[in-house]
Structure 1
Amino acid sequence: MADYTPDEQLYETLRASIAESFATRRPLLTHLNADTTWLLSLPYPSTSPSSNGRAYYHILLDPWLRGGQSDSSSVQTIAEVDEVIQRVEEAAHGYNIMCNVHVDHVDVGRDSQAGKCVDLVSISHEFTDHMHKDTLLEISPRVPLMATTKAASMIKSWRHFDSVQEISPFSGDWRQSSRLPLPEWLGISRVAYPGKDLLYYHSAIVFIFAGLTMYSSPEAVIYAPHGVSPSDVQPLADASPKVDTLALLHGLHDIKLVAKAQLNLDAYNGLKIQRKLKSKYWVGTHDEVKLGSGIVSWFLDRKVITVREALQREGEENGGDAELAALAEVNFKNISNGECLILE
């Protein structure tokens, strides 16, 4: 197999995946850096055609593309994210199609930034590896942005984006989280336990979409880069109308400060969520071993936990040996920097 740089790997795998993804009307998940920046591309339902001629609705998650510890990104700028989206759209349509801007009139001076191919930006936390200001300021102000409470407040203070909305808690009915600027078939909410985690550090953003095929139930992609308590996702398991969890993005590593403050929840926590929600895919995220700098790096304690080890612990707690055949049931995917996955 040929050796590819991250950006070459990205375009090589895109070419191989897009046609199949669009033919089956399935979402496409693309890893844009080695850590936790993702592009979630949702095909427009056949019953709700795109108003701008596009095949997919493209959501950019926690963009951090360059500077600091992000030099391993498969794309280095928001303009290159536009290029990725452009290639996705061209492959889906089978011919060249330009990304349309979200407004009828473009003020060239004000809308000169890139990012006009992005439909929505989603921010999960206010920390710089999720809410990277320099990267976000590259994006056109006209691209809508949705963020958790503290992140939304901080981004509003920059006075850059025209539309910054706070992501509301999951109510039990995904339709209540579908509001402008979202299309009617898409809702975005968060799950966390109020009062237990004042920073909502261990929380998840939930993307629920309906009608990708005529016969499908609403489906969800759950993004929990620091992990989330299994009890906190119970409302998703009890949702009405019923929601099928298509993919869970959750890391494997157990990361603490020496003072025992829990940063990232590990593979065993992810396994519990996968079991509770019966997620079809479990995708690793936010496990990149960064080149630490500054005083905080001196106090980090990282333990690498594998899915196999999580299954073994589960088996021991259940009074027997782990059923390693359950690895297939878990369906864990490690999507490397520059790779993409069709969520079938």
Structure 2
Amino acid sequence: MDAPLDLPSLQLHTELRESIVRALATRRPILHHLNADTSWLLQIPRPASAIKHGSRIYYNILIDPWFVGGQSDVARWFSQQWHAEPSAVKSIAEVEELAKTVERFAGSGLRKRNGNSSRRGTPVTPMKAGTPMKGEWEAEEDVETLIDCVAISHEFTDHCHKETLLEVHPDVPVIATEKAAALISTYSHFRTVLTTPTFSMESCDWRSHSLFPLPTWLSIARFTAPKDGLYYHSALLIAFSTHPYISTPHSTPQKRRSGASLYPNGHVPDLFSSSTSGSEAAEYVLYTPHGIPFEALKPILYASPPLSCLAFLHGLHDVRIGSAQRLNLGAENGVRSQRILRARYWIGTHDEVKSGGGLIGWFLKRKVWKLEDAVKVVRDELDRRKIKSGEGGEVDAGMDWEWENNEEWDDVKFEEVGNGESRILE
């Protein structure tokens, strides 16, 4: 039995839990780093209209889960890796418990299994990924899982890890890139597997990418880069608006897309007014574990209705095979991308130096960047291009925006969210 807390410790404990409750009362998205690599839980507060009395507050998206065991692509002799640092969360059951704990901190309708009412907004212990309150609380609604959706960015097993995915309840919809969706379908485990639609200049309304059974106020799409046939350098766009739409005489409801039946030839009709009311303002999280060439982000500047980048997940490490083939694009590309996106949070991902072996390991080269070094390199290059342009030289079309805004560096900030840490994205 634990020793009772002395008065100063009890006061600190009380203040800590009250501060957590106050933070969650802002009803802002929460991002949890579930391991040291690139597994995340994104909790998005549901719109007020979607929350019934006593129901859950957060919509939970599990991203690229891989917690324990190894991962291998092609064959073990070719490539096999393990987490160098044990994952803070070691099972899907622990993810479920983490989600329950957050719900109780936020004051949603949770009750003890003995039927006693929960004390709303009074957490027992500080929230920490990997140390949930096992089995103590359950939702008022009779649900078997608190995970609402699984998003998979790539078919590679450090993103699409079969053993981990098979722990997820089969009723949870999975939205994955084309090859990953095909692979997951072979598991014969999930009832709903959707293929991620592509966000592009021709299809830049985030609402048109909301596939059923996702809620209408949320969509998950993908950015791809030209000349990247394998889509290795791509990104997931998770867009959402937690404010109810205001109907206007000029707006027409959009027919929702389904995973099985998309618009002919990929064309999405423009069924929305180009005018955007304040209530239609939407935010997004851009997740790109390998990085995506910054030029490929151009469609986001033409999003209609406009989108605001809340969080940008992109690593700092530059990883290559030999001297030519780039795997993770690293800090330089991240700096250029952040200057376009102007995300409120730029958070590192997929920078874990894993243990492992296989043939490919002999050819991997990794450069660990500091943000200030990458900023200096990019600024110097843009200055050179600007000087060259002034002398009548040619500037790459994709760089025009960059050098014209070379004085705007205030948005280039970066932070690490460590293994088992969480951030409220305010």
TM-score range, shorter chain: 0.7 to 0.9
What is the CA distance between 1:18 and its match in structure 2? Answer: 5.2
Task: Describe the SS at the equivalent of 1:158.
Answer: coil
Partner of 2:234: 203
Partner of 1:178: 210
What is the CA distance between 1:260 and its match in structure 2? Answer: 2.0
Letter in structure 2 aligned against 1:291 = S
Counterpart-to-counterpart distance in 1, 2:408 and 2:22: 28
Greater Cα offset, 333-342 or 93-102: 93-102
CA offsets per residue over residues 83-139 of structure 1, 9 Å max, x none?
Answer: 11110111111673424566xxx8xxxxxxxxx221110000000100000000111
What is the CA distance between 1:316 and its match in structure 2? Answer: 1.2
Counterpart-to-counterpart distance in 1, 2:225 and 2:380: 29
What is the CA distance between 1:269 and its match in structure 2? Answer: 0.2
Greater Cα offset, 228-237 or 44-53: 44-53
Distance 1:273 1:16, change over 3 A: farther
Task: Describe the SS at the equivalent of 1:319.
Answer: helix
The one of 410, 417, 425 equivalent to 1:335 is 417
- Report how many aligned residue pairs link the two structures: 314
Greater Cα offset, 179-188 or 18-27: 18-27
Q: Does 1:28 align with 2:59?
A: no
Task: Describe the SS at the equivalent of 1:82.
Answer: helix
Letter in structure 2 aligned against 1:165 = L
Partner of 1:62: 64
CA offsets per residue over residues 235-272 of structure 1, 9 Å max, x none?
Answer: 11110000001110000011001162110001110111
Distance 1:149 1:93, change over 3 A: same
What is the CA distance between 1:330 and its match in structure 2? Answer: 2.0
Counterpart-to-counterpart distance in 1, 2:368 and 2:46: 38
Aligned residues of 1:22 and 1:43 also touching (Cα < 8 A)? no
Partner of 1:39: 41
The one of 344, 348, 355 equivalent to 1:291 is 355
Task: Describe the SS at the equivalent of 1:255.
Answer: strand
What is the CA distance between 1:193 and its match in structure 2? Answer: 2.7
Partner of 2:224: 192
Q: Does 1:144 align with 2:152?
A: no
Greater Cα offset, 44-53 or 248-257: 44-53
RMSD: 2.3
Counterpart-to-counterpart distance in 2, 1:275 and 1:177: 25
Partner of 1:93: 107
Distance 1:52 1:254, change over 3 A: farther
Distance 1:120 1:291, change over 3 A: same
CA offsets per residue over residues 126-180 of structure 1, 9 Å max, x none?
Answer: 0010000000011111111100000000000111100000000012000101121
The one of 249, 274, 277 equivalent to 2:338 is 274
Task: Give the structure with higher Rg (CA).
Answer: 2
Counterpart-to-counterpart distance in 1, 2:58 and 2:424: 13
What is the CA distance between 1:292 and its match in structure 2? Answer: 2.5
Partner of 1:132: 161
What is the CA distance between 1:17 and its match in structure 2? Answer: 7.3
1:178-257 equivalences under 5 Å are 178-193=210-225, 196-212=227-243, 217-257=281-321
The one of 174, 188, 191 equivalent to 1:162 is 191
The one of 285, 298, 312 equivalent to 2:376 is 312
Distance 1:94 1:167, change over 3 A: closer
Counterpart-to-counterpart distance in 1, 2:52 and 2:416: 31
Aligned residues of 2:321 and 2:363 also touching (Cα < 8 A)? yes
What is the CA distance between 1:282 and its match in structure 2? Answer: 0.4
Partner of 1:6: none
Aligned residues of 1:251 and 1:284 also touching (Cα < 8 A)? yes
Counterpart-to-counterpart distance in 1, 2:291 and 2:31: 19
Distance 1:166 1:80, change over 3 A: same
Letter in structure 1 aligned against 2:179 = K
Counterpart-to-counterpart distance in 2, 1:91 and 1:273: 35
Aligned residues of 1:17 and 1:341 also touching (Cα < 8 A)? no
Q: Calculate the TM-score normalised by the size of structure 2.
A: 0.69
Counterpart-to-counterpart distance in 2, 1:16 and 1:153: 46
Letter in structure 2 aligned against 1:249 = L
Greater Cα offset, 168-177 or 310-319: 310-319
Identity of aligned residues (%): 46
Task: Describe the SS at the equivalent of 1:221.
Answer: strand
Distance 1:326 1:240, change over 3 A: closer
Distance 1:212 1:26, change over 3 A: farther
Counterpart-to-counterpart distance in 2, 1:124 and 1:17: 34
Q: Does 1:261 align with 2:290?
A: no
Letter in structure 2 aligned against 1:240 = S
Greater Cα offset, 253-262 or 196-205: 253-262
Q: Which runs of 5+ in 1 are unaligned?
A: 1-13, 107-115
What is the CA distance between 1:216 and its match in structure 2? Answer: 7.1
Counterpart-to-counterpart distance in 1, 2:310 and 2:172: 26
